[in-house]
Chains A and B, each alone.
Chain A
C-alpha cells in the first residue's frame, strides 16, 4: 500500500488543481485520546487539503500526527513512544443552519504510518546483560469518521471545531537478540488497537 500512496496523493492534487470548484487548506490542533493499550492523551496537529465537489460536499486529504506513551503489556508493545500519522481521504457533508453556521459529518479511508520507539530505559536495561530488544509496528489501514461545526470568520476563512474517531488497527513484531551468542527470537504482535478519539479545532482557508 505504501507505493500507491504517492500516486493517490498526486491524483488528488491534480484533481484539486484542475477542479473548477474551490480548493481549501485546513490546519488543526487538538487532543487525541486512546482507550486501548497505548492509552493516554496527546496533542494532535495536522493539516488538510480539500476540494469542494458541491456547495455541501467536499473531499479532504487530511493528515494528523500525535505521539503516545505506551505502557508495557504482556501481549502488546513494551513501554515506549508511539507516533501516529494517519493520512485519510475524507468525504465531508455540510449541513448549513442558522445564518452562517454549518454542521458536518465526514468519513474516509486512508493509511496510517505508525512509528514505535522502545523506551530507552527498557532497551538499555536489556543491553546490560547482553540482549537487544526491538519492536516495530506495521503501517496499515486508517478509517476515520468525524463530526463538527464550522463558523465563518471571514469571506474565505472558517473556524472548524470537530471530533474524530480514527480506527487504527494493525499488528507488529518483536525481536529479542542475544548479543553474545547471536541467537534471536522473534514473533508477531497481533491485534494492536490504537483507535483514537480526537477533539480538534482549526481553520479552513478557501481559495476560489
Chain B
C-alpha cells in the first residue's frame, strides 16, 4: 500500500487533442478587424448623412435629429421594442479625442482635457477617461455640437461585452434539450456531485454557466477548491445537460482525501457523481482495489458513479514477459526491448507498470505478489538511448503491490522517451501491463483493449468512452474493454470535443468531457422521473444509440448516450 498511485485527469489530453482544432480556429489569419462603420450612415431606408453628423455614430445621429422616435414608432407596428439607452434627455456616450498618430502624451492630455472642458460646457458629465477616450453623459441636444467640434474624432455609444453563454454541443446530440420543458414527475429534483481536482473560476460562472448557487467542499489538505479548472468545465456540462439539477463541487488531491470525500458525499443527498478522473497502479484493473471500493461506497448510498473510461487506448501495452536473448529485459518485439513514446516539452513523463499478480482483494488490501519486475526509463538522443531512471521496489511478500512507476521527468522540447521492463524474480507466468502518460500520440506497441482506467473498471461504475459530438466516431484515445475482470466496458460513450466557457470553443475533449454528459443524463432521469438508480441505467441502456458491432461491445458499450425516444 505504500506505492505512489497516480491519478490522472483527462483534461490534459483533452487540451492536447483539441489543440489542433483550436489552432485552426485561432490561426485564421485571413480574418481582419471589422471596418469601422462610416459615421453618419444610417442604413437602408434611413436619412441621408447630414452635415454636422459625420462624426456622430448613426444611432446617436438619429437620436439627435429626433428620428429615433419615428424609428421606434415604425418598429412598434411590427411588435418590436427597443431597450432605452438614454438617461432621461441625456445619453451615455464616448467621445474620442482627435489625436494624430504618434502624438506625445502632452498633446494627448491637452487635447483630451480641452475635450472634457467642452463636454462640461455642453452640459455633459464626465464619468471616466482612458487615454483619448472620454466616457460621459451628454444631453441629447448637445450631441451634434460635440461631434462638430474639431477636438472630436468620433462620438459613439460605449461598447459592451456580451456574456458568452456556452452550451455543450452534446446537449442537442443526446436529446437532453427536449427535457428542458418537463417538470419532475413524482420526483423532486436531483443533485450531481462533481468530484474532481479543482474548480478554478467557478465563481465567475455562477448564474450563467453554473447555477446561481452551488455547494462546495474541498478535501485537500490546503483547502484550496480552485487549484485548477478541470472540474469547472465538467460542472458546466452537467449544468448544460440538467439545468435544474443541484450541483455539489468537491475536490481532493490524494487517495486518502478521495476516500474521505466519498465517505462524506455518501452522506449527502446526491444522486450521481461525475468523475472525470482515472488512476494508474491503483488496483488490479479487475474492479477491485481501494479506489474501486469508493465506487461501491457510493453505490451503497444509491449514488450512480459515472466514471471516465480513460484516454489510454493508445497509451497502453500489455503482454507476457518474453526474453529470447535471456538478458533479463522484456522484448516488446523481436530484439526491441524499449518501447518508445513522445512527450511534449515540459510535460511530465509518466510510466506505470503492473503485473497481474495482486493476490486476492479482501476489501482492505491485496494479498500481494511473489514476482518482481523493475521499470526503466530512457531518453533518446539522436539514435541512442540514454538511461534516465528506474524503479526497482522490492515487490515480493504479503501486501506487496505488483507495481512500479516513474513520474515527473520532462524535457525542454518535444522528445522521444523509452521504457523497458526487467525481470527480477519470476517463478510463474504473469501478465504485464504498462501505461504511459502525457504522450502526444500512441505508444510504439499499443494494445488498445483492456485499457480501461481505474475506477471505471468497477462493476458499479458507469464507464464512459468518448465519441465525437459531430459524427459519433470513437476517439482513438478512448479506452476500451474488457476489464481485467472480464467485464464489458465502457458502458456508454458520450459526446466529446465540446465547448465550455472554461476551455473554449470545441476545446474540451477526452472522456473527461463525456462523463458529465452521462452524469447529467442520470440527473435528469433521477430528478425528473420516479425511477431508481438501476432502472435509470436500464433506461439509458435501452435508449443508447448502438454503434460499432451490433449490441454491447468493448468500444462503445451499449452505445452513445441518448435521451430521446
Any B CB within 8 A of the CB of A131 = yes
6 inter-chain pairs at a CB distance below 8 angstroms, sorted by A residue, are: A125-B181, A130-B543, A174-B186, A178-B542, A181-B541, A183-B538
- A residues within 8 Å of B by Cβ? 72, 74, 78, 122, 125-131, 133, 174, 176, 178-181, 183, 185, 187
Asked if B538 contacts A126 (CB within 8 A), the reply is no
B98 CB-CB contact with A under 8 Å: no
CA distance A125 to B565 in the complex (A): 12
* With known contacts A133-B185, A187-B530, A180–B565 Cβ distance under 8 A: yes
Would A129 and B188 count as touching, CB distance under 8 A? no
A residues less than 8 Å from B539 (CB atoms): 178, 180-181, 183
Docked pose: A181 CA to B537 CA in angstroms = 11
Q: Is B503 interfacial (CB-CB < 8 Å)?
A: no
Chain A residues whose C-beta falls within 8 Å of the C-beta of B529 in the assembled complex: 131, 176, 185
Measured CA separation A183–B529 after assembly (Å): 13
Q: Which residue of A lies closest to B565 (CB)?
A: A130
Q: Chain B's nearest CB lies how many Å from the CB of A56?
A: 51
- The answer on a CB contact under 8 Å between B564 and A130 is yes
Which A residues lie within 8 Å of B531 (CB)?
176, 178, 183, 185
| Additional A-B contacts beyond A129-B178, A181-B543 (14; CB < 8 A) | A72-B183, A74-B188, A125-B181, A126-B185, A128-B564, A129-B175, A129-B564, A130-B543, A176-B531, A178-B539, A181-B539, A181-B542, A183-B531, A183-B538
Contact A180/B542 with A78-B185, A185-B531, A187-B186 known, Cβ cut-off 8 Å: yes
For window 525-540 of B, CB contacts with A under 8 Å fall at: 529-531, 535, 538-539
Residues of A within 8 A of B565 (CB): 127-130, 179-180
- The reply on B563 being an interface residue by CB < 8 A is yes
Q: Which of B511-560 contact A (CB under 8 A)?
A: 529-531, 535, 538-539, 541-543
- By beta carbon, the residue of chain A nearest B176 is A129
Report yes or no: B175 in contact with A185, Cβ–Cβ below 8 A: no
Q: Does B80 contact A (CB under 8 A)?
A: no
Q: Is the CB–CB distance between B179 and A129 below 8 Å?
A: yes
CB neighbours of B103 from chain A (8 A): none
A122 CA to B183 CA in the complex, in Å?
9
Asked if residues B186 and A176 are in contact (CB atoms below 8 Å), the reply is yes
Interface size on B, residues (CB 8 A): 21
Q: Give Cα distance in the complex from A34 to B36, angstroms.
A: 65
> Which partner residue on chain A sits nearest B541 by CB separation?
A181
Which listed residue, A122, A126, A183, touches B535 by the CB 8 Å rule?
A183
| A74 and B186 form a contact (CB under 8 A) | yes
B182 at interface (Cβ–Cβ under 8 A)? yes
Inter-chain CA distance A126–B542, complex, in Å, is 17
Would you list the 7 A-B pairs with minimal beta carbon distance, nearest first?
A130-B565, A181-B542, A128-B178, A180-B542, A125-B182, A180-B543, A178-B539
Interface centre among A125, A127, A130, A174 (most CB of B within 10 A): A130
Distance between Cα atoms of A154 and B183 in the complex (Å): 56
Cβ contacts under 8 Å, A185 to chain B: 529-531, 535
Q: Which residue of chain B has its CB nearest to the CB of A182?
A: B542
Complex: A125 Cα to B529 Cα, angstroms: 13
Chain B residue contacts of A128, Cβ below 8 A = 178, 564-565
Q: Within the complex, what minimum Cβ distance (angstroms) separates A76 from chain B?
A: 10
Residue in A78, A185, A187 whose Cβ sees the most chain B Cβ within 10 Å: A185
CB distance from A90 to the nearest CB of B (A): 38
B530 contacts across to A, CB distance below 8 A = 176, 185, 187
Complex interface: chain A residues within 8 A of B564 (CB): 128-130
State A127–B188 Cα separation when bound (angstroms): 20
- From 181 to 215 in chain B, residues with beta carbon under 8 angstroms from any chain A beta carbon are 181-183, 185-186, 188
Instruction: Tell me the minimal C-beta distance from A136 to chain B in angstroms.
Output: 15
B535 touches A129 (CB 8 A): no
- A181 and B183 contacting across the interface, CB-CB below 8 Å: no
Chain A CB within 10 Å, residue with most, of B175, B181, B185, B542:
B185
A131–B184 alpha-carbon span in the complex (Å): 13
Q: CB-CB < 8 A to A178: which residues of B?
A: 531, 539, 542
Contact check, A126 vs B182: say whether CB atoms are below 8 A apart.
yes
B535 to chain A, nearest CB (A): 6
In the assembled complex, the Cα of A72 lies from the Cα of B183 at a distance in Å of 10
- Per the 8 Å Cβ criterion, residues 148-197 of B in contact with A are 175, 178-179, 181-183, 185-186, 188
Q: Is the CB of B538 within 8 A of A181?
A: yes
Report chain A residues within 8 Å CB of B542: 178, 180-181
Residue of B at shortest CB range from A79? B183
B545, chain A: closest CB distance, angstroms: 12
A75 (CB) vs chain B CBs: closest residue: B186
List the A side residues contacting B538 at CB < 8 Å.
181, 183
* Chain B neighbourhood of A187, CB < 8 A: 186, 530
Determine the chain B residues whose CB is within 8 A of the CB of A180 once the complex forms: 539, 542-543, 565
Tell me, rounded to whole Å, the shortest Cβ–Cβ distance linking B242 to chain A: 13
CA distance A133 to B178 in the complex (A): 16
Q: How far is the CB of A84 from chain B (nearest CB, A)?
A: 23
Inter-chain contacts of B175 with A (CB < 8 A) = 129
CA distance A140 to B183 in the complex (A): 30
Query: Which residues of chain A have C-beta atoms less than 8 A from B535's C-beta?
Result: 183, 185
CB distance from B538 to the nearest CB of A (A): 6
A176–B529 CA distance with the chains assembled, in angstroms: 8
For B182, the chain A residues whose CB sits under 8 A away are: 125-126, 129
Q: In the assembly, what is the distance between CA of A129 and CA of B174, in Å? A: 11
Residue among B183, B186, B531, B541 with max Cβ neighbours from chain A (10 Å): B186
